[in-house]
Amino acid sequence: MNKGYPIKIYNEQELRRSSLVLGWSEDIGNLGRKATGYLNRKLKGREFAEIEPEAFFPLGGVAIEGNLARFPESKFYACQEYELVVFQSDSPGAEWYKFLNSVLDVAEQHCRVKELYILGAMVSFSAHTAPRQLIAVVNSAEMKEVLGQYDLARDMDYQTQPGERPTLNSFLLWIAKERNIPGVSLWVPIPFYLAAMEDAQAQKKVLSFLNERLNLKIDFSDLDQEIREQNEQLAQLRSRFSQIDDYINRLESNLMLSEEENGELIKKIEDFLREED
Amino acid sequence: MGLRLYQEPQLENPILVASWPGIGNIGIIAVDTLREVLEAEEFGGIEPWDFFYPKRVLIRKGILEYLEFPSSKFYFKRIEGKDILFFIGEEQPTEGGRMYAEGKKAYQMANLVLDVAEKFKCRRVYTSGAAVALTHHTTKPRVWAVPNSESLIPEIKGYGNTILMSDIEGRGGHGNITGLNGLLLGVSKKRGFEAICLMGEIPVYLQGLPLSYPKASKSVLEVLSRSLKIEINLDKLDELDRKAERRIEEFYQQIPLEIRGQLDRLRHVTYAQPDEPGPITEEEEKRIMEDVEKFFKKRGGGG
């Protein structure tokens, strides 16, 4: 199915039966970038291939993020010892079908990938003190059965609402199904006031699942420390601002906030966490 | 990327009628109504994945059941000596979030449609869309016709309720047709098909609204049926028009009185020949356009 798409392979990999984990860089709570970055760091992932950007991204200039110029990247990393391939990429802005097929071309033809794990996050209106859930959408009944032993919400019903479009993750999952690659799209709900920041607890949730499923033997003590720090920061904020504490209390009691209150909570938390960083 | 034809109907020098959604959905409603009234049969389509982002996903009990893409379908109808092929695209393929198709994808799609026209030895191609005009929604829309060959002009002049670009004051026979409804006309010329684009007039103040304008679709269909020499029942379009009319009137009443006063003057506008004085002056026309633009800007983008 390789149709000559612009793929650069730097080193061929000796993988026999690998799994592909994919995360997008601009995810809610930065989940895709953080989780795939964490895997690469902990498992010593080595970059071995990339997809050239010109067909898939508008290249009319560069984006600036955190004072730095950013250029779209779509890179593959191999963690040989664990039969794991990690793909970290910006979401393409055009030619989605070609792009997603290119990803699976590399996975199948160069890495013998047998399973696909797509990471994603969604906005939740719960408080950060609530445990994170992990929702799984699979592309086959067999995959659903295989995942039965893990702590996953596996029975979601959903259809696109008027005015909306399916996510890129659903598009990829569907292409994988067409190519007979069993796959799962994993979704972690992230509290709305952390959506533009980071949520270490959400990262841990998805990474713990991958750790267990793919037998990666990861020591999460550093991530646990991050979770503790973030929780402490938020606790500090609550004790300093009674209004914020009240908002979070209400969310903890499953009460909705008004749009204005939501906005205030987001702003206060983002300002505070940025200051602390 | 390609065509999928499920069957190969035997057709005798058919004509091809093609349309995609556009302003007021004028062309697509006209063509789809004709297809429906004639009970044309689906026989193929264009594979969507290279052209479109999916439009709907269905997940049931945690399993992705299907992903639906915008459709691009071919239909046929055998009518003694007047066989018709239809192409109906549910969306125009766009690149980089533009509203109407342009560039490589649009050209590829236009060529795929014409590959089918060539395969079935089509003798002519019709496309249809909208013409934004200084008219009023209570008047009968005219049809602007643009052929891709000089030899078609005498025929068009005989259609009735139809005008050529040169008949429109101030245009000097010039203009352009955005998106695939226009592009197909040009690609037809390149590939040697004679083609005509029929555009129903839509009042300038309705162009940005998410409303269909079946009144203009009816005008297009009247012209098309005359051109094809077939009789069709337009009851369905009349019903659609009545419904749309109510929503348009509601919107119209929300337009500030001073602008509405200007627009009311369009109730009596008919297009003049280029050498005749127009029913409203150029200056008045400019003012109306400015007022309408200001109103939509204030409203937040006109829709």
Question: What stretch of H or E contains B258?
Answer: helix B257-264
pLDDT reported for residue A2: 46
Q: CB A270: neighbour CB atoms within 10 A?
A: 15
Q: Which of A219, A229, A261 is nearest to A243 (CA)?
A: A261
Q: Is pLDDT of A91 > 90?
A: yes
Cα(B118)–Cα(B112) distance, rounded to whole angstroms?
Answer: 10
Output b/e per residue, B267-284; b: 16+ Cβ within 10 A: eebebeeeeeebbbeeee
- Cα–Cα distance, A183 to A161 (Å, whole number): 24
Interface with A, mutate which of B60, B65, B67, B91 (most A CBs under 10 A):
B67
Give A190's DSSP letter: E
Residue A1 has pLDDT above 50, yes or no: no
- Summarize pLDDT for A213-224 with one digit per residue, the tens: 999 999 999 999
> Which DSSP letter does residue A42 get?
H
Per domain, the residue ranges of chain B are 13-299
In whole angstroms, how far apart are CA B244 and each of A45, A73, A80, A149, B247? 59, 48, 63, 55, 5
CA distances from A207 to A73, A134, B157, B299 (A): 22, 10, 71, 47
**Where, residue-wise, is CATH 3.40.50.10900 in chain A?**
7-220
What average pLDDT does this structure show over B4-19? Answer: 94
Of the candidate ranges A35-49, A75-89, A186-200, B236-250, the one whose mean pLDDT is the lowest: B236-250
| A7-220 homologous superfamily | PAC-like subunit (3.40.50.10900)
Q: Nearest Cα to B227, choosing from B201, B197, B182? A: B197
Q: Report chain B's C-alpha Rg in angstroms.
A: 20
Taking an 8 Å cut-off on Cβ atoms, the answer to whether B55 and A160 are in contact is yes
Contact between A159 and B66 using a beta-carbon 8 Å cutoff: no
CB neighbour list of residue B268: distance below 8 Å, 6 or more residues apart? B279
| Interface predicted TM-score (ipTM) of this complex, two decimals | 0.91
d(CA A51, CA B12): 48
Cβ-defined contact of A144 to B95 (cutoff 8 Å): no
Around Cβ B1, how many Cβ atoms within 10 Å? 15
As a whole-number percent, the residues of chain B with pLDDT over 70 amount to 86
**Residue B282 pLDDT > 60:** yes
Residue B131 forms beta bridges with which residues? B201
Q: Which residue of B has its CA nearest to A57?
A: B96
C-alpha distances (whole Å) from A70 to each of A25, A46, A59, A65, A90 are 11, 21, 11, 7, 10
pLDDT digits (tens, 9 = 90+) for B141-171: 999 999 999 999 999 999 999 998 877 766 6
A192-215 tens-digit pLDDT: 999 999 999 999 999 999 999 999
| B80 pLDDT higher than 70 | yes
Interchain contact, A171 vs B67, CB within 8 Å = yes
Instruction: Kindly indicate the confidence band of residue A69, based on its pLDDT and cuts at 50, 70 and 90.
Output: confident
At A69, give phi and psi (nearest 5°). Answer: -75, 135
B95–A166 C-beta distance less than 8 A? no
Residue B258 has pLDDT above 60, yes or no: yes
Asked if the model's pLDDT at residue A237 lies above 60, the reply is yes
Q: Which residues of A touch B (CB under 8 A)?
A: 58, 93-98, 136-141, 144, 153-160, 165-167, 170-171, 173-174, 177, 185
Q: B13-299 maps to which CATH number?
A: 3.40.50.10900
Contact B96 A58 (CB under 8 A): yes
**Structure confidence at residue B42 (pLDDT):** 97
Q: Per residue in B94-134, pLDDT tens? A: 765 555 666 788 899 999 999 999 999 999 999 999 998 88
